[in-house]
């Protein structure tokens, strides 16, 4: 049988076709526009998603046996707000995860309603990317549109609706709306009252691997797919990407070393995190996960190499770096502010510790180490939750650097595994489709059978001890500089 994974991203939709053994048959990507009608605003037309999806599905399956297509599932950009009227027509362009217009609404929720209260309802504090503040913004600034709302959907749920006719969402994606009681996996009545909504305006909640329906007859006819093709709920991009890396089951951890950095930790149990320093969301495997996000991971190294040194020879710049744990130059990788654990947009990138004999290689090493130390901040929070991590899986552009993997292994004191797949969200979505079609009994079983470790970088106890001392310095730098960051930001 064949299974389709759809990754609905911010700039494009990526579609992947695989068989029951995990063999990838084809991959297709279709781009669509992103609109910035005002500074800090970010919107898209949901019809562009659906047009790209349909065009992509036809191309993806053109040379394959369409009668063998058993199921389709999704990974989606999280937090986006799609609002439909009683005719199921889109009321206004979707407001996306990276839209920054809702700071006043977040301040209202966190400061007036109360951050502790919001967290007790949802497991998280209000952030500008989340869906609930967007709804408050529409209520205040576009009251005529707010009154028209019949259904509220997330981006990937909208295309699932267009395929199946079912208003659905899943627990992992819904966790980022600030409307879900994450612990109990149900809509929060308290949050609905705060926003001014009724529960019937929200979609039915599923686990990510559950079947929501089958293709509508006219959709199946247009695509040439069987009408029995199942539509599986899918999940938020980070959760589904972690399915695609096999990061399921208690204590499994994935580090994504992309433009931003994500520390994703699977957990069998829900736990509240003090100060909301980590996101607490439902996972696509039916359990939960914690997630720390740093805003400039591989982006920090790209900035240093491209803009400051002026080279694309990343490997050559790293070739002479051999002594780990002995560098006295430190770098704070806060080039775009920082989320975990500081949640401070005013934080800034900083070098400290240079002397007259500091070398270019030491500066380069400091950038790589600074990112690793910032990732460790999330690990330190996780330790307080009682979750033990002795190895991680790593992906993203930065993971191509053997040196960086070695630094991370020693800074975090873990084994660092690379795996046989780099497709992440689209592959994870296809796995969810296979589980939904009962090809596998559980997400964990599917991941263990389809995803294999191909390479492991191990830590060195002596280097770990050196980095432990360096981290003690690193973690004291931000609080020492915070007031200076605030002063710089207002100039």
Residue list, annotated binding site for substrate? 78-79
Cα 166 off chain centre by = 25
Report how far residue 14's alpha carbon sits from residue 11's, in angstroms, rounded to the nearest whole number.
10
Cβ count near 289 (within 10 Å): 27
Residues paired with residue 82 on neighbouring β-strands, in sequence order: 153
Active-site residue, from 48, 99, 170, 237: 237
Class of residue 320 by CB neighbours under 10 A (exposed 0-12, middle 13-18, buried 19+): exposed
- List the one residue out of 324, 375, 327, 389 whose CA is nearest residue 352: 327
**Residue 65 backbone class (left: φ over 0; alpha: ψ -120 to 50; beta: rest):** beta
The structure tokens listed for 390 are 């002795």
Report how far residue 241's alpha carbon sits from residue 78's, in angstroms, rounded to the nearest whole number.
12
Note if 285 is an active site residue: no
The structure tokens listed for 74 are 């999704």
- List C-alpha distances in Å: 35 to 30, 64, 69, 90, 102: 17, 35, 34, 16, 17
- List the one residue out of 248, 243, 237 whose CA is nearest residue 293: 237
| Burial letters 38-72, b for 16+ CB under 10 A, else e | eeeebbbbbebbbebbbebbeebbeeeebeebbbb
Report how far residue 104's alpha carbon sits from residue 90's, in angstroms, rounded to the nearest whole number.
25
The structure tokens listed for 198 are 């009724």
- List the one residue out of 89, 73, 136 whose CA is nearest residue 110: 136
User: If residue 393 lies in a helix (H) or strand (E), which one and from where to where?
Assistant: strand 391-395
- List the one residue out of 339, 382, 375, 386 whose CA is nearest residue 125: 339
- Kindly list the catalytic residues: 237
């Amino acid at each position: 049988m064949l299974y389709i994974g759809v990754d609905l991203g911010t700039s494009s939709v990526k579609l992947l076709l695989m068989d029951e053994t995990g063999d990838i048959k084809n991959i297709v990507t279709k781009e669509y526009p992103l609109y910035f009608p005002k500074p800090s605003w970010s919107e898209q037309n949901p019809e562009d998603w659906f047009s790209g999806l349909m065009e992509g599905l036809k191309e993806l399956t053109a040379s394959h046996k369409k009668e063998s297509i058993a199921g389709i599932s999704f990974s989606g950009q999280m937090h986006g707000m799609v609002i439909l009227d009683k005719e199921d027509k889109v009321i206004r362009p979707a407001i996306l995860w990276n839209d920054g217009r809702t700071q006043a609404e977040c301040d209202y929720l966190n400061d007036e309603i109360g951050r502790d209260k919001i967290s007790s309802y949802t497991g998280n504090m209000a952030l500008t990317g989340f869906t609930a503040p967007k709804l408050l913004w529409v209520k205040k600034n576009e009251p005529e549109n707010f009154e028209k709302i019949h259904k509220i959907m997330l981006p990937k749920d909208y295309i699932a609706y267009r395929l199946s006719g079912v208003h659905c969402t899943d627990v992992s994606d819904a966790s980022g709306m600030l409307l879900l009681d994450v612990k109990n996996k149900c809509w929060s009545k308290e949050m609905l009252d705060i926003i001014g909504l009724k529960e019937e305006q929200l979609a039915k909640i599923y686990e990510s691997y559950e079947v929501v329906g089958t293709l509508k007859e006219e959709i199946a006819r247009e695509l040439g797919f069987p009408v029995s093709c199942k539509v599986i709920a899918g999940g938020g991009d980070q959760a589904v990407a972690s399915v695609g890396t096999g990061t399921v089951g208690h204590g499994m951890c994935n580090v994504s070393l992309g433009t931003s950095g994500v520390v994703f930790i699977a957990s069998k149990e829900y736990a509240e995190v003090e100060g909301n320093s980590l996101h607490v969301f439902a996972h696509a495997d039916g359990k939960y996960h914690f997630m720390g996000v740093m805003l400039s991971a591989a982006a920090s190294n790209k900035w240093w190499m491209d803009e400051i040194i002026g080279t694309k020879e990343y490997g050559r710049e790293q070739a002479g770096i051999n002594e780990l744990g002995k560098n006295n130059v430190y770098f704070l990788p806060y080039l775009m502010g920082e989320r975990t654990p500081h949640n401070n947009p005013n934080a800034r990138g900083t070098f400290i510790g240079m002397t007259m004999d500091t070398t270019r290689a030491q500066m380069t090493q400091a950038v790589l180490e600074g990112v690793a130390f910032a990732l460790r901040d999330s690990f330190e929070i996780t330790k307080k939750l009682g979750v033990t991590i002795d190895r991680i899986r790593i992906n993203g552009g930065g993971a191509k650097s053997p040196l960086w993997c070695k630094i991370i292994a020693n800074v975090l004191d873990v084994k660092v595994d690379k795996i046989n797949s780099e497709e992440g969200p689209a592959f994870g979505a296809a796995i969810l489709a296979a589980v939904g079609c009962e090809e596998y009994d559980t997400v964990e079983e599917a991941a263990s059978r389809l995803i294999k470790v191909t390479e492991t970088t191990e830590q060195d106890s002596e280097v770990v001890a050196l980095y432990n001392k360096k981290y003690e310095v690193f973690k004291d730098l931000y609080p020492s500089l915070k007031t200076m960051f605030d002063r710089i930001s207002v100039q």
